[in-house]
A and B are shown apart, each in its own frame.
Chain A
Amino acid sequence: EAGVVQSPRYKIIEKKQPVAFWCNPISGHNTLYWYRQNLGQGPELLIRYENEEAVDDSQLPKDRFSAERLKGVDSTLKIQPAELGDSAVYLCASSREAGVYNEQFFGPGTRLTVL
């Protein structure tokens, strides 16, 4: 079974530029998560999708961040414009279903550096 796929793996941009991250979850996984991980900290949830519906986006900075999950499979996370403080690793994870007993599996992440 293929794992969660993310691209790009690394991205370096100037501040105020836009950037987008792509994620393809494990086949058959209905729930998709975007996390942000700062150095020395655990991942923090940005948004959770159940199929194509965003059911928890309370931690997503909506003034500059947006996300979509078309057709309930692939997802894109966008930042526009990027700020210096957005430098972090952006992780995508998926689980078979939502709910507290569902294990989440992470992709390799995208390391974003904003200069």
Chain B
Amino acid sequence: QKEVEQNSGPLSVPEGAIASLNCTYSDRGSQSFFWYRQYSGKSPELIMSIYSNGDKEDGRFTAQLNKASQYVSLLIRDSQPSDSATYLCAVYAAGNKLTFGGGTRVLVKP
């Protein structure tokens, strides 16, 4: 079992719709969770961090964390073509090591 798992996609979303991305992790002791956006040929860009159970909103992005079920999700509201990218989930696991999932590719179609 991978430490951090994501559906590779692609997740195809119509412009203006909500994109919903999920991530599960194996280390029950994980304390902090991050979402990065990575455009093709570019480096990862931090878009959200979440540490407590519940929702955290930042603009069109909402991160949701459920530690009991060991999943974290990212919602992108009013999806735009510029949101087309790969979204990486990252989790701090044992030993202060940030572990990344393989990423979910999102395609927003006009």
Instruction: Using CB atoms and an 8 Å cutoff, list the residues of chain A in contact with chain B.
Output: 33, 40-45, 48, 56, 89, 91, 98-101, 103-109
Contacts and interface: CB of A to CB of B under 8 A. Distances in A.
Nearest to B32: A100
B102 to A, nearest CB: 5
B43 A45 contact: no
B51 A101 contact: yes
- Which size class do B's interface residues fall under? 20 to 34
A43 B32 contact: no
Contacts of A43: 44, 88, 100
B98 interface: yes
Given A40-B102, A42-B103, A107-B43, A100 B90 contact: no
Contact of B49 (A44, A91, A103, A108): A103
Contacts of A44: 100
Given A48-B96, A106-B44, A107-B43, 14 more contacts: A40-B103, A41-B103, A42-B4, A42-B88, A42-B101, A43-B44, A44-B100, A45-B99, A48-B97, A89-B43, A100-B31, A101-B31, A104-B34, A108-B42
B95 interface: yes
B46 A108 contact: no
Interface string B17-48: 00000000000000110101000001111100
B47 to A, nearest CB: 11
Interface in B59-110: 88, 90, 92, 95-103
Contact of B98 (A40, A45, A109): A45
Given A42-B101, A42-B102, A98 B43 contact: no
